[in-house]
Amino acid sequence: MIKVAQTVLDEGFLKLKTAFAMVSPNVTYTTLHARRKLLQIPLVSLGIGDQKKGNYSIYLVEKQSTVQYKVLQSLLNNWVNCQDTKLPINLRKETVDELLKLAESHGERQRLKYAIVKAAGMSSSRAKDMYGFNDMSSKISEVESALDESAAIREVIENIAEVKDQAILRSIGIYDTTTESEDEGETSDCSETDSDISGDDEDILFRVDAAENMGEPQMMQLEQSGKQESADTEETETSSLDDQQLIDILRCCDLNWIEFARIVTGIQENKQPNVTENMLLEFAGKLSSLNLTKEEERLVDQSRQAYLIERWHKDKEDDVDDGLVVSESESDDPNELCQVKDPLDAKGKAVILKKRAAIQRKAKREVAKRIAERRFLQRRRSKRIGRIEKECPDIGKTIEEFVRKRGVGADSWRRTGVLTFDGNRRVGKKVTFRRIQEHLEAKYKRKFGYGTVVQLCIPRNKRRKSAARYKGLAQVTNRRARKGFTLKYNPDEHWSAALYRGLDDIQYKDGRQIMNVGRDDQAGFRLDTMTTSKQNATLCCKDNLPLTTRTDYVNQYPSVLQTTCYNFAATETTGEVCAGVVKAKKLFFKNPAQHYADIMMIERNEDIKPAFINPLTGKIKEMECIRVDGGGDEGPVHEEVQYWWTKRHLINGTKATMVTTRSSGSSYRNRVELQNGCLALAHANLFISSTLNGSCMDSGKVNDNLLCKNLDAAIDVYISRVDEAPCARTVIHLMKGAKSEDVQMEREIVLTFLKGKVEEKENAKLTHSDLYKSIEAIWQLRKRHMVEKLPHQYVFYLKCCFLPNCIHPVCKGSLHNISEDCWYPGGPSLDFFPTPTPDPDRPYGNENCQECVGFCAGHYMKPSKILSYVKSGKRLPDAIPPSQVLSETFKKCAGLPSDDVISTTAKQVLLKQEDVKMWFQHLEVVETNRKKGAKKAAATRKARKEKNKTTITKY
């Protein structure tokens, strides 16, 4: 009552309903009860307004004997009627109802009602009569309360962002001279900082403290995660620990900043987290003036960099877990500021402005996140999960541990060698929410609802409305398996990736004189079933879905179509071309000779021919670069493959032919693999019968003639359906395999020449003398043109020798200027090969590597640096892959090398020591198995000889 009287004295009037709520907050309001209670003190109640118009209200004023209240009431009513000049409300009830139906949430409907009532100046009773809004007084109070609370959240987070902004500037000795004037003026809204700081902010005057500018600029602290919802900004200016105490703690921690930060955080546990972080920031900015030696500063700087990187990764993971989208500019290297030598130059100023803008953008996201977490004006959420969280605080970790132990992905099998895994053959049942429920009930001895278990995890799609019901105590969700596990370790993987990076630079620069092609065999397409073609969806009518067979039908005869994809990669001057050759096992061979016939056929196709012709000269391109797998039918290490590419090198008269392959397990990086995937999408839900011309079985046996006829018809159907399937920005041109009877006959003589016995070779010379001489000439050409110093298992490189009596058309042609033979105009010569070379600027064991997480095993030079290295007159090292270096080292040591040898070898091949040791152990196992195999073979031969002697003796 005293509070009501004081309010009336201060304000002059007070609504009766508001006054009654002040004295009786939990009592239902009626005018009769309110008057009886409040008129006990010297007050007068006046009814102002018209109930029909919905603006009638009762007010309390101070009772004075000199005032005629009837006259005052009449004057006030007349004044209200005169002031009631608002525009008529044009919103009909039906229109408002439609607007409310369009609202997507309960909170949106509440805000819409609030806006309508407030804009029209309606009372609660009038809103109910006109639009049917019930209890608008309480709803208005809820909306206004939400507005006040959201404004408070925004103000607190903006204050924290301002503190971070100033702390970052102070940590590098830079002070914003406009801060004080900005604090006195109006605070800007967070939405104005959505884009990078620009305009007037670029003209901010910076003042650099002379004492701090003497040393190296300190590294900028990462933005804090902003987890706290409120913080006293005044506390950031003071600290309970002075600089001397902090330096003593740092020395006690052996200059380890990570341990130092942990101890200081423990001492400051009663303070807000941002207070401690800002104190550490300020202390870091003063290190150069605290009488530390250069060695001590170096140790502190190293440990602090590790601390900052650890915090950066943790904050980034927290943002991803919270569903925040972190832009690339905000996920840059935290050490970026260390590379700025002068904060007053353009580069330094740009970095500072970028970091400050990132803080403001993060503050805006944090405001939106905190407001969303408060769920203003949303329906009441069940408290069941909150009660479970209190009773079972570790339930999230329990669920995660249960799911992790039951995982049976490729990465769940512990690797103990190059190819072998541990002998564990026991795995748990498949993880389901029902099994998680049973596990929780068994552990906590209580009941859990199925839906409760689901909501304890994280949602599959955070953008759906239902995601708000998930608590996320356990980081468990439902996902498909992802590729990311290598079954067999290959020490050449890093080296091979660096090699192909260099090849990309010289081969894809200008494609007008280089024919770049990648070749790969796609997975087989099986006839009479959709097992291999039902993995992707296609458009169809709702009542006419494509059907597949109920069983995975397997024929007794070969009924698989396989497409060999040829991807002519795009360069900076030429476009991409895609081709495919569809073949069946019974009709076509799968060997190098067939591939030779196929590419010669593709070259004559009008759609593919531009990939082989130089658009400037109209002639066949002078260089060919082919990327293949390491299979027996196309790997560059195989002599038969080398023969056919040498023959093409001779027939087409190319200056250079290079066939390369990646390390084992890395072929998925080739562009042609994308074409394979596009082809799989094109033949999705395609069913082709293997009996288009009748059954292939005749009296229980396979009729080969009819089988070939059916396979040929199936290829035609496949091409008619899948031809010109989209791939990237072009289409895939399909064709049937080439007829290769002549080259297959030649292949038999080639195999005899390469691997046959002496008698077989002499017989081939007599029966096919001309062909045999041609093969010998081609093989001699291969020896002259082949670059020997390259690793043959990865590269087969033919280059014109320009020697007299050479049968190659370019070598025996007219005078030729060798200096004009370049990979591209103005580029390196054909003698240049981008051998992977260790980068001295990113060496082995680099503690400040910005690309590696954990230990850095070193990096190879980038292509541009290799080219500059060669132009400076330096010689590249020999192209020796790490696997060859490791094998030679193992042979020299005659057993498992010592730790010193392992360390030296690891540094030489840019691999981690544990990987090198594992490979040596693998070589030791291989050597042991070979010795056992040799002993077993010797024993077998001895037993066989004794058996033969016994047999001869009997007879």
pLDDT at residue 225, rounded to an integer: 34
Q: Which residues contact 249 (CB under 8 A, 6 or more apart)?
A: 241, 260, 263, 264
pLDDT(164) > 70:
yes
Q: What pLDDT was estimated at residue 333?
A: 52
Is 638 a residue whose pLDDT tops 70? Answer: yes
pLDDT at 334: 53
- Which pLDDT belongs to residue 271? 66
**More confidently predicted of 96 and 324:** 96
Q: With pLDDT > 90 as the criterion, what percentage of the chain qualifies? A: 36
Task: Give the H or E element holding residue 577.
Answer: strand 577-584
β-strands 730-736, 725-727 pairing: antiparallel
| Stretch (H or E) spanning 165 | helix 136-171
Best-predicted range by mean pLDDT among 63-67, 326-330, 436-440? 436-440
Identify the residue with better confidence: 269 or 811.
811
pLDDT at 228: 37
Q: Would you give the distance in Å from CA 630 to the centre of its chain?
A: 28
pLDDT in tens, 77-106: 887 777 654 545 667 888 888 888 888 788
Q: Is 371 helix (H, G, I), strand (E, B) or coil?
A: helix
Burial of 360 (0-12, 13-18, 19+ CB in 10 A): buried
Q: How confident is the model at residue 203 (pLDDT cuts 50, 70, 90)?
A: very low
Mean pLDDT confidence for 252-275: 76
pLDDT value at residue 487? 62
Say if residues 542 and 693 touch (Cβ distance below 8 Å): no
Strand pairing class (623-628; 656-661): parallel
Residues 6+ apart with CB under 8 A from 531: 548, 552
Task: State the pLDDT at residue 160.
Answer: 85
- Whether the pLDDT of residue 779 is over 50: the answer is yes
Q: What span, in angstroms and rounded, lies between the C-alpha atoms of 5 and 14?
A: 9
Task: Report the chain's mean pLDDT, rounded to a whole number.
Answer: 81
pLDDT at 911: 93
Q: How far apart are CA 435 and CA 430, in angstroms?
A: 8
- B/e letters for 519-529, b = 16+ CB within 10 Å, e = fewer, are bbbbeebbbbb
- Angstrom distance (rounded) from CA 646 to CA 801: 13
Give the pLDDT band of residue 954 (cuts 50, 70, 90): low
Confidence check: pLDDT of 116 > 80: yes
Surface-to-core class of residue 562, CB atoms within 10 Å of its CB (0-12 exposed, 13-18 middle, 19+ buried): middle
pLDDT exceeding 70 applies to what percent of the chain? Answer: 82
pLDDT tens sequence across 569-608: 999 999 999 999 999 988 999 999 999 999 999 999 999 9
H helix intervals, 821-912: 863-871, 882-893, 899-909
> What is the pLDDT at residue 385?
65
For residue 399 the two structure tokens come to: 């669920």
In angstroms, the CA 370 to CA 231 distance is: 14
Residue 368 neighbours by CB distance under 10 Å: 14
CA distance linking residue 23 with residue 8, whole number of Å: 14
Confidence of residue 273 (pLDDT cuts 50, 70, 90): low
Two structure tokens written together for 373: 């977490």
Output the DSSP codes for 210-261: HHHHTSPPPPPPPPP----S---GGGGG--SS-HHHHHHHHHHTTT-HHHHH
Q: Give the Cα separation of 403 and 58 in Å (integer).
A: 64
Which carries the bigger pLDDT value, residue 42 or residue 708? 708
CA distance 552 to 520: 26
Q: What is the mean pLDDT of residues 122-142?
A: 84
Answer whether residue 933 shows pLDDT above 50: yes
pLDDT of residue 746: 95
pLDDT score at 758: 92
Place 325 in a pLDDT band, splitting at 50, 70 and 90.
very low
For residues 210 and 877, the model is more confident at 877
Does the pLDDT value for residue 188 go beyond 90? no
Partners of 659 in the β-ladder: 626, 796
Of 241, 280, 289, the residue nearest 257 (C-alpha): 280
β-bridge mates for residue 731, sequence order = 726
Query: How sure is the predictor about 187, in pLDDT bands with cuts at 50, 70 and 90?
Result: very low
Q: Tell me the average pLDDT across 217-228.
A: 34
Does the structure show a pLDDT above 60 at 58?
Answer: yes
Q: Summarize pLDDT for 651-700 with one digit per residue, the tens.
A: 999 999 999 999 988 888 899 999 999 999 899 888 999 999 999 998 88
Nearest to 248 by CA among 298, 216, 281, 283: 283
Q: How far apart are CA 415 and CA 394, in angstroms?
A: 30
CB neighbour list of residue 192: distance below 8 Å, 6 or more residues apart: none
Q: Is the pLDDT of residue 920 over 80?
A: yes
DSSP character string of 619-679: SB-SEEEEEE-SSTTT-TTSHHHHHHHHHHHHHHT-SEEEEEEPPTT-GGGSTHHHHHHHH
Read off the DSSP letter of residue 522: P
Q: Which of 202-206, 218-222, 492-496 has the highest mean pLDDT?
A: 492-496
Cβ neighbours of residue 780 closer than 8 Å, sequence gap 6 or more: none
Is the model's pLDDT at 182 over the cut of 60? no
